[in-house]
Amino acid sequence: MDFQALAQNILTNVGGKENVASLERCFTRLRFVLKDSSKANSDEISHLEGVIQVLNANGQFQVVLGNNVGKTYDAIEPMIGETISASVDDAPKEKVGIGTKILNVIAAIFTPTVPAIAASGMIKGFLAIAVIIATNVYHTDITKFNTYIILSAASDALFYFMPIILARSSAKVFKTNEYIAMVIAATLCYPSIVNLMTGKAPVTLFGLQITKASYTSSVIPIIIAVFILAYLERFIDRIMPEVLKIIMVPTLCLLIMVPATLMLFGPIGIYLGNFINWLYYYIMHFSPILLGAFIGGIWCVLVVFGAHRAIIPIGINDVAKTGHQNLLAFAGAANFSQAGAALGVFLKTKNKNLKTVSASATVTALFGITEPAIYGANLRLKRPMVYAVISGALGGALMGWGGSFGNAFANQGILTIPVYASSGLKGFVCYLLGCAIAFFGACILTVVLGFKDLPEKLSGQNSEELATIPVTAAEDEEVASPLAGKVIALAQVKDEVFSSGAMGKGVAIVPTEGEVVAPADCEVQVLYPTMHAIGLLLDNGIQLLIHIGQDTVELKGKYFTSHTEVGAHLRKGDPIVSFDCAKIKQAGYDLTTPVIITNAAPDALITMTDENEVAQGSILMEFKGKVTNEEV
């Protein structure tokens, strides 16, 4: 499709750019809104290739483009000479607590590093197995072999150069120059600096003695340094003449931040990291049983709220400083308890859909991915979640008593069990027994004590208006609800774009709680700056459009708060956007939220739950059929 031609035709048929008072990318995969365009020719536009529908509503001329709007907008933007898409920079933002802000920052910094951390941990686990076999079976020390040394370097490199890794992700979060941040971090890891810091002689800078500390493998110092760098760079950029910016801004940033980091921010970070580590181990030494029980029981509860990310740096920092950690040993008990509870649900439930979900969730939880078990079965049924917490606490307590720990920061699952062999016979046996207690305990409690099972299958519709949506069998693909609220037929939505089905098949929710969460593991493909509309690509291939309220784009982000970004991969239940229901209603806006499958094939069938209200994560729709491969 010629998007430039389409863009030119749209402008021509609304009277040219001089008559377009405002052109908004109302939703990146939904429509254009042309305000005050009195000369708009709807007949001409509606016949253009790529245009789904043309509407006149609320004083706006709307051109519905569906999947083509992003590319068309990119083509039309240069033609009108300036970007006039809606901006939220000046919009009032909902106040967020300092704890939430810190949690979000920690998550944003460390989440991109998780795949590399997991890979490094897996290699360490394989090497640990190899060492055990070589030592006990072949009586050979393979740690001196070149192959071992190279692979060991591959597993350790991430942690040794952790400041450089975190510099990049921190720079993205704090919106500063990534390469300057990485140079500062690389300076901390530079061999000459390392030799100075580990040598016996005092270290001075400009004649002033500085605190000696090893910054390789450190976590907190570089995060503080990059945070300060972001403000320094903006200040220098503001006062520097334009002609000198490209050279002088990065130069001054380096000249100021390297000494400042070594003299001030680095030591602060080292001391802070040491304090956190000391506090964790103070509790550990005070009562390792209680600490193990607490982490083993509460870990997956923290996962539900995303708060587990706040304590992950303790484990990372611990491995970096001491070569081992016990945080994830205790968290392993929590993971295995979730797997056991999900297995109990599989054995107990009579619901075919739930049996399928819990079976697959059991397997993924055994490999360290607990979100399917938590959101697909245990938390959804409530009582299995309680059984998992109890069993995880018991398993964690035994691990704490036995002194279990791992020699790498590795995800907690059956593949990484060898990581915890380094804790010695007692510690490793207690780790294995703790995992067994957590797994079988949760499974037995779930089967014996039971839970309120879900109905055998979803019935047809809860409204006559959904008679046009065929009812499908219970074994169809389930789509969970991203919001909590009252379920209504899509035909009842006041906006014709949605009610007509032009954007796809689905349902609508009148929210009772102001939060949208990921309905499944998914990628955020669209998150408009006003945060009123979200496009998700679920891991099963379904593309989901969530449009919070009607005409809420006009709020320009007011009363909305984003918790993620475009391109992020989310687990089921991760928060995406929160909003203030009461204030949006007071402002006169309808909060009815369409939830639409935008890439369903024409013959695809959808049925929705017969429940009048749904909770986050509960079944909203069942889908049968194929999906297209077009971009969201």
List, as one string, the DSSP characters of 415-434: GGGGGGGGGHHHHHHHHHHH
Q: Buried b vs exposed e over 506-544: b needs ≥16 C-beta within 10 Å?
A: bbbbbbeebbbbbbbbbbbbbbbbbbbbbbbbbeeebbb
Cα three-residue angle 454-458-464, rounded to 5 degrees: 140
* Known catalytic residue at 26: yes
| Partners of 486 in beta bridges | 510, 613
Specify burial of residue 226 (Cβ count, 10 A radius: 0-12, 13-18, 19+). Answer: buried
* Known catalytic residue at 547: yes
**Pair 562, 108: CB distance under 8 Å:** no
Specify burial of residue 619 (Cβ count, 10 A radius: 0-12, 13-18, 19+). Answer: buried
Helical pair 220-239 and 266-286, crossing angle rounded to 10 deg: 150
* Helix, strand, or coil (residue 141): coil
Side chain identity at residue 556, one-letter code: K
* Helix, strand, or coil (residue 64): strand
Catalytic residue among 26, 253, 435, 581: 26
The helix (run of H) or strand (run of E) holding residue 1 is none
Strand order in the sheet with 543-547: 569-570, 522-527, 533-538, 543-547, 593-597, 505-511, 485-489, 613-614
Alpha helices in 371-528 (DSSP H): 371-373, 379-381, 383-402, 424-449, 496-499
Task: Identify which of 344, 218, 335, 325 has the alpha carbon closest to the alpha carbon of residue 273.
Answer: 218
CA distance 395 to 340: 12
Task: Identify which of 486, 502, 522 has the alpha carbon closest to the alpha carbon of residue 615.
Answer: 486
Helical pair 383-402 and 327-348, crossing angle rounded to 10 deg: 150
List, as one string, the DSSP characters of 527-555: E-TTSSEEEEEETTS-EEEEE-SSSGGGG
**Pair 380, 341: CB distance under 8 Å:** no
Residue whose tokens read 């245990």: 378
| Partners of 533 in beta bridges | 547
Catalytic residue among 308, 324, 532, 547: 547
CA distance 450 to 408: 37
Kindly list the catalytic residues: 26, 547
